Structure 1
Amino acid sequence: MAGMRRFREELAGSPSLWWATLYFFSLLCGYYVLRPMRDAMGASGDAMAVFPPGLLAWAAGRGVALQDYTLQVLFTGTFVIMVLLQPVYGALVARFPRRVFLPVVYLFFIACLLCFYWIFHQAVPGRGGLFFIWVAVFNMFAVTVFWSFMADVFDNDHAKRFYGYIGAGGTLGALAGPALTSALVGWLGVANLLLVSAAFLAVCLLCILKLRPWAIRRERLHHDVSGERAMGGSIIAGLRLVWARPLLRALALLLFFGVGVGTLLYNEQAAIVKAFYPDPREATRYYSLIDGSVNALTLLVQLLLTRALLRRYGVAPALLIPAFAILAGYALLTMSPLPLLVAATQIATRAGEFSLGKPGRETIYTRVDRESRYKAKAVIDTVVYRGSDLTFVWVHKALAVFGSRAVFAAGIGVAAALAFAAWRVVRAQRNLPDEGSAACRQPAGGAPEDGARG
């Protein structure tokens, strides 16, 4: 396969690509080891395992059975924690150089996993809800930090060449993580899987150390502000930047509506599957076919199309194709909300986001200043993302009483807003300066200059 051959050639000539791919593989593999545990906690019928006894008693005293609103409560809690942590992350980024705050973020997550290891062994009440929220926070911040760092390591030209391949490494990690969980959970038990995930995060730390010289080298080539010095500025600068800059506002809207269409589809899909496949085995088979198809299509597009589209046409196709595919899918679902069509739309939505939308957005961040790259991007990827999740999980609950067609009809409007936001991003990013052609001709994969080891 030409795509695989080109991938091997790029890996052989680019050690930075190799370490970046290993980094993303390890990060997503570690996350997907945890995700089945998180989902099991979110679907648990044991209220004492999910919620603290005090919260259950408080809700019962007001006539509310908290277990009837498990996902809504957990999504709300996730959003609140994201908002509270944003200034903490802003302070860390502002006051410490890259060589400090990047390892600190991952060391903190490793320490959390060790704490959960003890909590699960002790069967502490409320562990399920706490773990569910923590995994969501971990995923958002760890992946955001990863892509911010990649924008330090690779310039715009190399991002167009490499981001599809790096994304493919993440897809392979997303495939390996659940397989590891399935293979090891019977042997190790649930709690010990937390140590497996911690080991993958330790590999991420090694990759950060190996990639740091390339980040320094890129900054020197392009005369960028060094990430080896503290960034400074306000700890809430990210919020101000998103509000003030048209491109960042457009990116925030793109993510808000992109998450919104996915949340509406995910929740309504659950209701449709419950009606058409009451047998848990049939429902599990349906979901597994979707997940397998998403991963296969994502990997295929990442290896064969993403690089070519980004290099030849820029970010426009990567952002607009998924948006219009989702719009078409919702229009068809409004006319015929059948499980097969739901599955096809779900596959197109998720595969388009992973293989095109995400690399397209991340490429844009290679052309903005470091404060936008770390602070504003963190706001968009965490607060805006979870804010959309929270908004549309409740919107769906309100629309669901009118049936599937009403949900999908509303989804057409959200998908249209997504397409408009994608168009705004494409227009706004054209005003960004391209990095110098001389610098872009420098090989990203060669050995770093001696001075870059600083």
Structure 2
Amino acid sequence: MDPSSPATTRFGRFRAALSESPPLLWAFVYFFCLLSGYYVLRPVREAMAASSDVQAVFPPAMIEFFAVRGLALKDFTLQVLFTCTFIIMLLLQPAYGWLVSRYPRRVFLPAVYGFFIGTLLLFYVLFDSGMPGRGMAFFLWIAVFNLFAVAVFWSFMADVFSNAEARKFYGYIGAAGTVGAILGPVLTRTFVERIGIANLMLVSAGFLMVCVVCQLRLRLWAVAREQERRATSGETPMGGEVLAGLKLIAREPLLRWLASLVVMGVGVGTLLYNEQAAIVRKFYTDPAASTAYYAGIDMAVNALTLFIQLLVTRWLLRSFGVGPALLIPGGAIILGYSLLAASPLPMMVAIVQVVTRASEFSLTKPARETIYTRVDREWRYKAGAAIDTVIYRGGDLSFVWLHKFVSAFGSSAVFGVGLLAASAFTFSGWKLLREERKLPSERDAASGQRGSSRADAAV
């Protein structure tokens, strides 16, 4: 191969980045294992949500409660699951706020992952014994796991990497996660019939144990960076109020627009997800055909995401900042929903689904997380987690019921509402960009902290 070829040059840049920043390799392994562990379990969640075996999904008491009132629980499976997920998030948010307020980073990071590893062992027992209601319990658990574990990861990365490093390296880290997202379903598809669903819980737990090892290693660089910038140490308890995250979102314009961006992004995805299921039921009556349709979408999403992360994200963030990464996905989604409103065919739905999910993973998410490198720890760990959990699931809940209402008027009506949500998503990105530009640069913030330290020493 020609040493000057693009492929060799890109690989050379990646090797140079690893040499320049030793923690990058540990972050790479961390996100790879995190998403591998999640995507090993994601097909189990989808199977439970789509299962016709109501006894496997819901506990007997809930089934009886609905039956007494003349309601078939299977007709409201997603609505009930999304509603319960939101309630769980509301209950857990204060618990998480208490944890990060009272304990230092070296305690609460392993504690969060230790909790998930322990509950995976419990689910191994539930699935191995065929416990009724295991589907609902697992659906709720994996929703909590996906949001909290990933939110903690990106908050931690903002402790480890500076803003300039985030622009250079977050594309690589995101690509590692995408590779893990590809590997997870491959492992499930290859081994589930041989080892059974219960043993997939142990496979995922193994990936999470590697994540804990990576946390312990990366903590050393986080401490060193805080000492270099004379920033508040993450090795001491953060303090503050348990509900400080939600209060910060209500008070700070930048966080409000971040929350709005997340809600509208969730709305676009939820409307498309639910309408896609209805269209697939209409056009693909054979389960094998519908499975192949969904598998093709997942493969295309992961392939496009990886392509953008490796070739576009890093260059875009380094050259132009977060602006294009926040605004380009909105424009693409507006175009896609406009086409769907006119022609809601399965192939067109698949194309828009691929573009929507790939742009979120490869552009919007890295841009949002880059912003967190320029704010203090309470914003990252409390407000950021609240946005990615309670706010996120609140958007899910709102739009899943909105779809139930609007779908009565046909697919074109659903996609018309989706077009409004996509427009609001783009507007939120624009407003967020304006607020982001008001933040002090990292160099200014560091200078201010050093000046403050010198002044304190002089006093």
Structure 1 residue 393 and structure 2 residue 397: aligned? no
For the pair 1:308 / 2:315, whether they are aligned, the reply is yes
1:11 aligns with 2:29: no
1:332-363 CA distance string (max 9 Å, x none):
11111122221111111011000000000000
Q: Output aligned runs, 1:137-286, within 5 Å.
A: 137-286=144-293
Distance 1:404-1:256 versus aligned 2 partners, 3 A rule: same
Q: What is the Cα deviation at residue 437 of structure 1?
A: 7.9
Of the candidates 50, 62, 68, which is equivalent to residue 43 of structure 1? 50
Deviations 1:230-257 (A, max 9, x none): 0000000001000000000000000000
How far apart are the structure 2 equivalents of 1:254 and 1:74?
23
Hey, what's the Cα distance between the residues in 2 that align with 1:23 and 1:214?
14
Bigger mean CA deviation after superposition, 243-252 or 275-284: 275-284
**Aligned-residue offset at 1:34:** 0.8
**Cα offsets for 1:404-437 (capped at 9, x unmatched):** 1111111111111001100011000001111128
Aligned to 2:4: none
What CA distance in whole angstroms lies between the structure 1 residues aligned with 2:153 and 2:236?
A: 19
Compared with structure 1, are the counterparts of its residues 380 and 359 closer, same or farther at alpha carbon in structure 2 (3 Å cutoff)?
same
Q: Is 2:441 aligned against 1:426?
A: no
User: 1:13: Cα distance to partner?
Assistant: 3.7
Give the 3-state SS of the residue equivalent to 2:202 in structure 1.
helix
RMSD of the alignment, in Å? 1.3
SS in 2 for 1:436: helix
**2:102 equivalent in structure 1:** 95
Match of 1:373 in 2: 380
Q: Secondary structure at 1:70's aligned position in 2?
A: helix
Contact 1:28 1:177 in 2 (8 A): yes
Which region of structure 1 is more displaced relative to structure 2, 422-431 or 337-346?
337-346
Asked if 1:357 is matched to 2:357, the reply is no
Instruction: State which drifts further: 286-295 or 165-174.
Output: 286-295
Residue 439 of structure 1 and its aligned partner are, at CA, apart by 7.5
SS in 2 for 1:64: coil
Which residue number in structure 2 is paired with residue 26 of structure 1? 33
State which drifts further: 314-323 or 428-437. 428-437
> Relative to structure 1, is the Cα distance of residues 438 and 378 closer, same or farther in structure 2, using a 3 angstrom cutoff?
closer
Give the letter for the 1:133 counterpart. L
The answer as to whether partners of 1:7 and 1:303 remain within 8 angstroms in 2 is no
Taking structure 2 as the reference length, the TM-score comes to 0.94
Task: Give CA deviations for 1:159-195 in whole Å, capped at 9, x if unaligned.
Answer: 0000000000000000000111111112211101101
Query: Residue 438 of structure 1: CA displacement?
Result: 11
Letter of the structure 2 residue corresponding to residue 189 of structure 1: G
The letter of the residue matching 1:33 is: V
**Contact 1:83–1:383 (CA<8 Å) still a contact in 2?**
yes
> 1:330 Cα shift?
0.6
Contact 1:264 1:393 in 2 (8 A): yes
Whichever residue aligns with residue 11 of structure 1, its letter is: L
Quote the Cα distance in structure 2 between the aligned partners of 1:275 and 1:5: 49
In the alignment, does 2:324 pair up with 1:317? yes
Q: Report what 1:341 is aligned to.
A: 348
Which secondary structure state, in structure 2, belongs to the residue aligned with residue 73 of structure 1? helix
The residue number in structure 2 matching 1:443 is none
CA contact (8 A) 1:221 1:439 kept: no
Contact kept, 8 Å, 1:222 with 1:435, in 2: the verdict is no
User: 1:400 deviation in Å?
Assistant: 0.7
Q: Which secondary structure does the structure 1 equivalent of 2:373 belong to?
A: helix
Structure 2: which amino acid aligns with 1:320?
A: L
List per-residue Cα deviations over 1:208-264 (Å, max 9, x = no partner): 001001101111122211000000000000010000000000000000000100111
Letter in 1 for 2:213: L
The code of the aligned residue for 2:58 comes to: F
- Match for residue 455 of structure 2? none
Contact 1:4 1:303 in 2 (8 A): no
1:417 to 395, 416, 424: 424
For the residue of structure 2 that corresponds to 1:30, the secondary structure is helix
Is there any run of 5+ residues in structure 2 with no aligned partner, and where? 1-6, 448-459
Equivalent runs, 1:124-139 vs 2, <5 Å: 124-139=131-146
Deviation at 1:288, TM superposition (A): 1.7
- Bigger drift between 232-241 and 67-76 goes to 67-76
Q: Which amino acid aligns with 2:283?
A: F
Deviations 1:350-377 (A, max 9, x none): 1100000000000000000100000000
Contact between 1:161 and 1:311, CA under 8 Å: does it hold in 2? yes
Give the paired residue count: 440
Given that 1:22 and 1:207 are in contact with CA atoms closer than 8 Å, whether structure 2 keeps it comes out as yes
Q: Does the Cα contact within 8 Å between 1:264 and 1:392 map onto a contact in 2?
A: yes
| Post-superposition CA distance 1:88-130 (Å, at most 9, x none) | 0000000000000000000111010111111122221111100
Q: Distance in 1 between matches of 2:434 and 2:144?
A: 31
Answer yes or no: is 1:64 the counterpart of 2:71. yes
* Distance in 1 between residues matched to 2:176 and 2:10, nearest whole Å: 14
1:7-46 CA-partner distances (Å, limit 9, x unpaired): 2332244320000010000000000111111111111111
Deviation at 1:69, TM superposition (A): 0.8
Contact 1:92 1:101 in 2 (8 A): yes
Deviation above 6 Å: which 4+ runs of structure 1? 437-440
Equivalent residue for 2:128? 121
